[in-house]
Amino acid sequence: MQHSFLELSDNNYIAYVLNKGKLPCVIFLGGFKSDMTGTKATALEVYCKKQGQMFIRFDYIGHGKSSGNFIDGTIGQWKSDALAIIDKLGAGKNILVGSSMGAWIALLCALERKDKIAGFVGIASAPDFTERLIWEKFTDKQKEQIKSDGVYYAPSCYGEEPYPITLKLIEEARQHLLLSDEISLDVPVTLLHGMEDEDVPWQTAITLAENFTTKNVLVNFIKNGNHRLSEPEQLDMICEAVRTMC
Task: Name the residues annotated as catalytic.
Answer: 100, 197, 227
Instruction: Provide DSSP, 84-140.
Output: HHHHHTS-SSEEEEEETHHHHHHHHHHHH-GGGEEEEEEES--TTHIIIIIGGG--H
Beta strands at 151-154 and 163-166: parallel, antiparallel or unpaired: antiparallel
d(CA 196, CA 225): 5
Distance CA 88, CA 93 (A): 13
CA–CA distance, 93 with 119 (Å, rounded to integer): 9
Q: How far is CA 99 from CA 41, 104, 143, 171, 193, in A?
A: 9, 8, 27, 22, 10
